[in-house]
Amino acid sequence: MNLRPMEIVLILLVILLLFGAKKLPDMARSLGKSARILKSEAKAMKKESEGEAAAQQDTSAQQAAPKTIQAAPGDVTSSRPVAEPNQQAGKN
């Protein structure tokens, strides 16, 4: 879409007439704030997803070892392996 300078001036004039000179700076300011908020939220989501990926890798490494319930000190015979809640749901 090729706009000539005269067409751009005409569009700006129509916008000025529709919204008024007093509202245009406020609209531009709010548009800038919205763009900054969107940018910061996108960065936060990217960091969060990177953190979740690292946490999932750590969790998968930790889940390899079976968890046990520890009994009183010295009573090794009553210790037994414990299944994770998500593993028990499949057995029911």
Measured distance CA(53)–CA(7) in Å, rounded: 50
Task: Please give the average pLDDT of every successive group of 10 residues along the chain, which has 92 residues.
Answer: 87 87 86 94 89 72 59 60 55 49
* Residue-level pLDDT at 15: 87
Measured distance CA(46)–CA(52) in Å, rounded: 10
Q: How many CA atoms lie within 13 A of 20 on its CB side?
A: 3
pTM: 0.42
